[in-house]
Amino acid sequence: MRTRAIPLAVSAAYTWIAMVAFGGIAVETIVIYPNVFHDVPASLAESVEFFTVTGPADFFPPMGLVTAIAAAATVVLLWRVRQARWWVTASLGTLATGEWLFSMLYFWPRNDIMFEEGIAVHTAEFLRQTANEFETGHWFRLGMSAVTATLAFIGFLRYHRGRVPTGSPA
């Protein structure tokens, strides 16, 4: 019984973390981004000024690291459970490709253009185009985060159901 408690707890924690990360990205999409991108390039400059104490860049990198550690631990701990193995492995895969790799290749250069270089280096039209690309790509990232959280949850359920004997109350 104890040998199954740790994988269950780690899997539950990973599922919770993945859902919180998805919620954070959803809030960023619905609450923050309309303000950041409402009047580019002026709104970009206002955003830089507003986020001087703390901002998304202070939350998402540590959250991503915690999510990655929890995902990897869950994959290792649930690997022997066929019903859950591929669900949690797929969640790690969507996390790695849809959120990290895509962020590094797509968002990081655009963040530099919009928030580091800004109007001092680029035209207003180029900044508007970059902001539009960023917002469009962000919907993909939000979707991948939803997929990651969903796959983690399914893996958790599969593991939990696999450990409860048939006919027993859960």
| Span 39-78, pLDDT tens digits | 999 999 999 999 999 988 898 889 999 999 999 999 999 9
Q: pLDDT value at position 168? A: 55
Please tell me the least confidently modeled range out of 10-19, 66-75, 97-106. 97-106
Can you tell me the mean pLDDT for 81-105?
Answer: 94
Report whether 93 contacts 68 (CB < 8 A). Answer: no
pLDDT at 165 over 70: no
Interior angle at CA 12, CA 7 and CA 14, nearest 5:
95
Does 1 have pLDDT greater than 60?
A: no
Residue 170 pLDDT: 54
Give pTM, 2 decimals: 0.88
99 falls in which pLDDT band (50, 70, 90)?
A: confident
